[in-house]
Chain A
C-alpha cells in the first residue's frame, strides 16, 4: 500500500504517464481505463520503455513544467501560511503538493484533446481526403486484406510472392487504419502493378470507410474470430463490418478463407473460397509441414505447382494455396511462384520457430485470437517432441465472450496434451484453468505472476527435445 502510494511521487512518474499514453496510442479512453486500473506506478513499464518521439517529449515537458509549478505554488502557499499567517495557506499548499500526481494524470489529457481537435484531426482528415483521389486514380490491382486474424501473414505472403513478377507495394507493419492508408498513398508513384492494403477493423463502420477511401479491386478475407469485442457488440457485428468490403466490390473478386468456422454465415455464392483443400481451381495434392517449413503440391488440370515455404503449420495450407493460385491468375509463371514462395519466411513473433538450448520454440506472441490458438495448439499436437510446453496469457478484448472464449482456449490447449502449461496470471486465468480441467488436461500447470520473468529466462526452463509454443503476450496496458 505504502509502496503503491509512493510510486505516485517517484521522479519517473511523469514518464510513466506519457508511456501509458503512448502505449494506448494517445487514446484517452483506453489511457484512463489503464490509469484507473493501475495501483503501483513503479511496475507499469515491463515490456518496453518510452519511445522519445516529438509528441512524447512535448507531453513530458508539459507534465514536468506543470508539476514543478504546482509544487512551487504549494511551497509558496505553505511559506505564506506559516510565516505571514495567510489564512489556509499552509493547508492549501500542502494539499496542492499532495494532489499533484492525481491532478496531472488527468490534466495531461487536455493538451492531447486540444491538439487532436485543433490540429491533428483536421490535418488527418485532409490527408485522408487527398489519399482517396490517389487510390481512385491508381490503375493497379488494389487488394484489400481484411479479417480478425491472419491479415499480416496474408499481406506479406502476397507481397513476397507477387513481387517475384510484379511491382508490388503494401501498407507497412500493422499500419492498417485510414490515417496510415493516407500516409501509404502519399508515398505511391502511381506505376505500381499491385497495392496491398491491410484493413484493421476496430469499431463498427471502419471497414466500409476504408473501402470507400481506398477503392479496392480485390478483397481477401482471412478469417473471423472473437476480437475487439469491447467495441463490437458481437462476433456477428464484427463479421458484418469485415464483410462490408464485399459490398463495395459488389461480390466480385472476393476471396474468403473457408478454414475459418465463424465465417460460414457470411458466405455468398459469388465469393471464391480457399482452404487447405485448394484455391481458385487448384487442388492441394500433397502437403507437409514441420518446423523447417511447409511443402505443398498444387494441381489444376495438367498444371502442377511444387513449392516450399518457410511458414509453418497446417492452417497455412489454405493461405499458401490461395496466394499461389492468385499469383498464377495475375500472370506469374510457375517458376516465379515457386521462387517467391521459397522466399517466404516466418514473420516476427508469428509462428516463428527458433532454437534455444536445443529446444524448439515457436514464437506466436503476436497472435491474439481464438483461431490462432486453435492453429497453435494443433501445431503442438501434430509435431513430435520429448516434452511439449504451451505458454499463453489468454486473449484480450473478448468483451462479453470473455469467459466462453477462454473456456474454449483451455479446452483447445488440453487437446494438444502438453506436458506443461504456463499461464500468465491475469483476469482470464481462471477461465482457462476451468477449460483445461474440462478438457481432461493431465500435465503440469504453472501460473506465472510475472510474465517477463518467464519470457526473459526462457532459456533456464527449456532443454533439448522440448517443443514450446508461446501464443500471445499482453502488452503493458492489458497486463
Chain B
C-alpha cells in the first residue's frame, strides 16, 4: 500500500483554511479509497512539523486541544534519503519512529505552501506530489507576476500598479499620487502573495486608499493596486489535469459590484455579505453553479480559464478566477489559485466528480508528472573539473 503524506497548516495567514482543506477534502477521501496509508503532517504556525494520527481529527483543532498536543508532542523531522522519510521520537524509551513516504499531497495555502516553497523542497527530494509545480505556484501566487504573464499571453487584465512594502513605507504620499494619476477609482488594494481574500480592500478615495495600502503592506512585502472592472460578474473555474486540462463548472460568487469577498465572508459567514439572492450552496454556500451568464460568455470564460492554466504551466489542480464586464462581455484574468480551498470539491461534485474520485485523479496526475520528469535528462558529463 502506498503511503501519502498530507502536509497542512503552515506559516501562512491561511493556516486555518489549510486545516479544513486537508482534513475534510483530502485525508478523508484518500482514506476512503482504501488504497493508501495516509499520514497527517501538520506544520504549526511557528513552522514546526508534527506527524501523528490524532492530527486527522478536526476536533483537535476546533476545540483548541491542538495547543496542549503540540506542547506534549515531539516534533517530526524529514529525512531526504533518496526520497522522503518522516521521523519522530515515539515517546517510548526515545525510540525513533519513521515512515517512508511515496507521495506528498500538499494542502497548504498561501506563503511557504502554495507559493512554490514546499514544491521546491519536494522537487529537491525527488518525490511525486499533487498540484502545481514550483514555478507555476510561484508565479500564480504573485499577483503582479501573474498579471504580467497573463498579459504576455494576450489575456486581458485590468489596469494595475505594484509597490514594494519598502516603497510604501518610504514614500506613502508618492504612491497614492502615482496611483491617482494612473488609475481610476474604485480600486482594489491587495497583498501580492496572499489568497483567501486576506488583506484586500476596495477603496473609493484617497483616504481609503492610504488605509488599504497600509493593511495590505501589513500582510505582504509587495502590494498590487488594480482598477475595478465595471459591470462586474466574478467567476471562478476549477481545472485539473496535466497536459489535457479538464475544467469543472464555471462558478459565480454571489456578489454585487459594490461587494467583494473578504476572508470573513468566504469562510466564516457562509458568504452572507453579498447582497445577491441566495443561490446554490457551495463549499462556503455563496455561489451559483453553473454561473448564470449567457452561453457565449460562459464558453469564452471557460476557454480563457483553460488558456490561463496552460500559460502558467499549471498541473494537477488549480482554480482560475476571472472578471467579466457584463456589458462588453469581456473576460479579464484575475488570479490563479494553485491549491483551491477544499479543492473546490463542491464544484467538482456538481461536475460529476466525487471527492474520492477527485483525490484519486490528483494522485494519478502527480505520478504522471513525476514519471515525465524522471524521464528528463538533468545531468551530463563534462571534463570541466579535470582542468583543476
Which residues of chain B have C-beta atoms less than 8 A from A464's C-beta?
349-352
Q: Is the CB of B352 within 8 A of A386?
A: yes
B15-54 toward A: CB 8 Å interface, digit per residue (1/0)? 0000000000000110010100000000000000000000
Q: How far is the CB of A119 from chain B (nearest CB, A)?
A: 46
Q: Does A250 contact B (CB under 8 A)?
A: no
Tell me the A residues contacting B by CB distance below 8 Å: 357-358, 386-387, 449, 453-454, 457, 459-466
Within 324-352 of B, Cβ neighbours of A (below 8 Å) are at 346, 348-352
Docked Cα-Cα span, A464 to B349, in Å, equals 6
B28 contact from A387, A449, A457, Cβ within 8 A? A457
Q: How far is the CB of A356 from chain B (nearest CB, A)?
A: 9
Q: Is the CB of B352 within 8 A of A357?
A: no
Q: How far is the CB of B27 from chain A (nearest CB, A)?
A: 11
Which residues of chain A have C-beta atoms less than 8 A from B357's C-beta?
463
Docked Cα-Cα span, A454 to B350, in Å, equals 21
Q: Is the CB of B351 within 8 A of A461?
A: no
Give the nearest-CB partner of B25 in chain A. Answer: A460
Can you list 5 A-B contacts (CB < 8 A)? A358-B350, A358-B352, A387-B352, A461-B356, A463-B357
Which residues of chain B have C-beta atoms less than 8 A from A449's C-beta?
34
Docked Cα-Cα span, A464 to B34, in Å, equals 23
Q: Is the CB of A463 within 8 A of B32?
A: no
Q: How far is the CB of B21 from chain A (nearest CB, A)?
A: 14
Give the nearest-CB partner of B29 in chain A. Answer: A460
Q: Does B135 contact A (CB under 8 A)?
A: no
Which 3 pairs, one residue from A and one from B, show the smallest C-beta to C-beta distance? A463-B354, A460-B355, A357-B349
A459 contact from B348, B350, B353, B355, Cβ within 8 A? B355
Most chain B beta carbons < 10 A, residue from A459, A463, A465, A466: A463
Q: A463-B350, A466-B354 are in contact. List 14 more A-B contacts (CB 8 A).
A: A357-B349, A358-B349, A358-B350, A387-B352, A457-B28, A457-B32, A459-B355, A461-B356, A463-B348, A463-B351, A463-B353, A464-B349, A464-B351, A464-B352
Q: How far is the CB of A377 from chain B (nearest CB, A)?
A: 22
Which residues of chain B have C-beta atoms less than 8 A from A463's C-beta?
348-355, 357
Which residues of chain A have C-beta atoms less than 8 A from B348's C-beta?
463
Q: Is the CB of A460 within 8 A of B353?
A: no
Whether A461 contacts B354 in the complex (CB less than 8 A), given A357-B349, A358-B349, comes out as yes
Docked Cα-Cα span, A464 to B357, in Å, equals 13
Give the nearest-CB partner of B354 in chain A. Answer: A463
Number of A-B contacts (CB under 8 A): 42
Which residues of chain A have C-beta atoms less than 8 A from B351's C-beta?
463-464
Give the nearest-CB partner of A357 in chain B. Answer: B349
Give the nearest-CB partner of A447 in chain B. Answer: B34
Q: How far is the CB of B48 from chain A (nearest CB, A)?
A: 30
**Residue total for B at the interface (Cβ-Cβ under 8 A):** 15
Docked Cα-Cα span, A358 to B353, in Å, equals 10
Which residues of chain A have C-beta atoms less than 8 A from B32's C-beta?
453-454, 457, 460-461
Which residues of chain B have C-beta atoms less than 8 A from A457's C-beta?
28, 32
Which residues of chain B have C-beta atoms less than 8 A from A462's C-beta?
349, 354
Docked Cα-Cα span, A453 to B352, in Å, equals 22
Tell me the B residues contacting A by CB distance below 8 Å: 28-29, 32, 34, 346, 348-357
Which residues of chain A have C-beta atoms less than 8 A from B29's C-beta?
460
Docked Cα-Cα span, A460 to B29, in Å, equals 6
Docked Cα-Cα span, A449 to B31, in Å, equals 13
Docked Cα-Cα span, A461 to B355, in Å, equals 6
Which residues of chain B have C-beta atoms less than 8 A from A460's C-beta?
28-29, 32, 354-356
Q: How far is the CB of B337 from chain A (nearest CB, A)?
A: 21
Which residues of chain A have C-beta atoms less than 8 A from B34's C-beta?
449
Docked Cα-Cα span, A443 to B244, in Å, equals 26
Which residues of chain A have C-beta atoms less than 8 A from B356's C-beta?
460-461
Docked Cα-Cα span, A459 to B349, in Å, equals 9
Give the nearest-CB partner of A454 in chain B. Answer: B32
Give the nearest-CB partner of B28 in chain A. Answer: A460
Q: How far is the CB of B251 from chain A (nearest CB, A)?
A: 13
Which residues of chain B have C-beta atoms less than 8 A from A466's C-beta?
352, 354
Which residues of chain A have C-beta atoms less than 8 A from B349's C-beta?
357-358, 462-464
Which residues of chain B have C-beta atoms less than 8 A from A386's C-beta?
352
Which residues of chain A have C-beta atoms less than 8 A from B346's C-beta?
357
Docked Cα-Cα span, A454 to B348, in Å, equals 20
Docked Cα-Cα span, A387 to B349, in Å, equals 13
Q: How far is the CB of A410 from chain B (nearest CB, A)?
A: 22
Which residues of chain B have C-beta atoms less than 8 A from A357's C-beta?
346, 349, 354
Q: How far is the CB of B78 from chain A (nearest CB, A)?
A: 29
Docked Cα-Cα span, A454 to B351, in Å, equals 22
Which residues of chain B have C-beta atoms less than 8 A from A461's C-beta?
32, 354-356
Most chain B beta carbons < 10 A, residue from A386, A387, A461: A461
Q: How far is the CB of A256 from chain B (nearest CB, A)?
A: 43
Q: How far is the CB of A161 from chain B (nearest CB, A)?
A: 36
Docked Cα-Cα span, A464 to B347, in Å, equals 10
Which residues of chain B have C-beta atoms less than 8 A from A459's C-beta?
355
Which residues of chain A have C-beta atoms less than 8 A from B353's C-beta?
463
Q: How far is the CB of B83 from chain A (nearest CB, A)?
A: 29
Which residues of chain A have C-beta atoms less than 8 A from B350's C-beta?
358, 463-464
Which residues of chain B have C-beta atoms less than 8 A from A465's C-beta?
352
Which residues of chain B have C-beta atoms less than 8 A from A453's C-beta?
32
Give the nearest-CB partner of A386 in chain B. Answer: B352
Q: How far is the CB of A389 from chain B (nearest CB, A)?
A: 10
Most chain B beta carbons < 10 A, residue from A449, A462, A466: A462
Docked Cα-Cα span, A453 to B32, in Å, equals 8
Docked Cα-Cα span, A357 to B356, in Å, equals 13
Q: How far is the CB of B168 from chain A (nearest CB, A)?
A: 45
Give the nearest-CB partner of A450 in chain B. Answer: B34
Docked Cα-Cα span, A386 to B354, in Å, equals 13
Q: How far is the CB of A346 from chain B (nearest CB, A)?
A: 24
Q: How far is the CB of B119 from chain A (nearest CB, A)?
A: 26
Docked Cα-Cα span, A357 to B280, in Å, equals 11
Docked Cα-Cα span, A462 to B351, in Å, equals 11
Q: How far is the CB of B59 from chain A (nearest CB, A)?
A: 16
Q: How far is the CB of B223 from chain A (nearest CB, A)?
A: 39
Docked Cα-Cα span, A387 to B348, in Å, equals 15
